[in-house]
Structure 1
Amino acid sequence: MNKKKMAAVTGALTAVLGVSLALGAVPAYADGIGVALSHGTGGTTGLAVHGSGSQVDWVKVSHGDGYPRNYCGFQAKFGGTLAGGSAYSTTYGWEAACVPLFTERSKSIVAKFKLGTNVWGQAYHDGEWTGGKPTVAIQ
């Protein structure tokens, strides 16, 4: 390679590396959807997480057993590892009434979670916690 081409390649690499170093690592995110099989024929529990960086702003836990039925006494649980390393868990959305087909609960969280870990959700109805715990990675 001649000196002119070498200078052009070196200049381009320096520009790319300079921009990469200035921007830092790829941004983290706390945003995603997880689904886990749970009790019932075709039953699933879902977790939707919304946030940015390592901050989770809100979550939604949903549950359905795959066939029409009433869900009574529903609530949800969400948890994970906070940025400082301590465990976080909250149970929310108790509803004593019965609802048909499926159920879901949303909650504002607004907390920073540890990068490289998973947050999880779980549903409760009719006197028991579901077996499936969907997860979403905090990356």
Structure 2
Amino acid sequence: MDKQQLLDHAKIARERAYTPYSKFKVGCALLDGNGHVHLGCNVENAAYGPTNCAERTALFRAIADGVPRRTFQAIAIVGDTSRPITPCGVCRQVLIELCSPDMPVFMGNLSGEIEETTVGALLPGAFTEEDL
């Protein structure tokens, strides 16, 4: 699956977002080692703290479905932003915990702009299990 196809899946997931408060929809598509795509969207809550980002929804869904950590192949995120959307700090920490540091991260927006990086580049100096 190429990055555009993965971004297209993220756009589909974005439409499923539950955002009654911010109206800011984000979608994510996570490709596992078997070629399966796990979708995620942001899910808001009136208490704000329990709100979950699209990236964490996709990652947690895949882990719950039995996909072993560090076997993911790529992740794509899409939001209605002026530049390609980037994961928040919490999502960056979860990504470094569950994904390989060299895993590609495709970030896009609804205008079709795309930026590509890696999980490791998103969070230099990350706190990992080696630090415990």
Q: State the TM-score, normalized to the length of structure 1.
A: 0.30
TM-score scaled to structure 2, two decimals? 0.31
Higher relative contact order structure (alpha carbons within 8 Å, sequence separation ≥ 6): 1
- Structure number with higher helix proportion: 2
- Structure with higher strand content: 1
